[in-house]
Amino acid sequence: MPKKDGPKSVTPELPPVLNPDGVRSVYCNNMEVTMGAMDTRLTFNEIIADQGKLSIERRAHIVTPNKHFHAMVKVLVDYAAKAQAQLDAMEKATEAKKP
């Protein structure tokens, strides 16, 4: 009797990312969040100080379902913790090399 193979691991092949609308990267240093019954709205702004005068320029506005927003927050919190651990390790290694 032939031996059955176990389940095979499949790595999905993702298609390349397309940018048909010409989406560009933008800088922001301020964010507003509002949540409704069905979706969360993220507004990204840039606060600019020029000659003692402040102005706020809107850079991006994203609307996403609340469940997706909560999933994004979870990913960002996890990423932030891992990135901070890497930065702390690099700083510790740099401090150890100082005379």
Length of the chain: 99
Per residue of the chain (99 residues), what is the pLDDT tens digit?
566 666 778 888 989 989 989 888 999 999 999 999 999 999 999 999 999 999 999 999 999 999 999 999 999 999 999 999 999 999 998 887 777
Rounded distance between C-alpha atoms, residue 33 and residue 44, angstroms: 9
Rounded distance between C-alpha atoms, residue 43 and residue 57, angstroms: 11
Question: In the chain, where are the structural domains located?
Answer: 30-97
On whether the pTM is more than 0.75, the answer is no
For residue 52, what is the DSSP state?
T
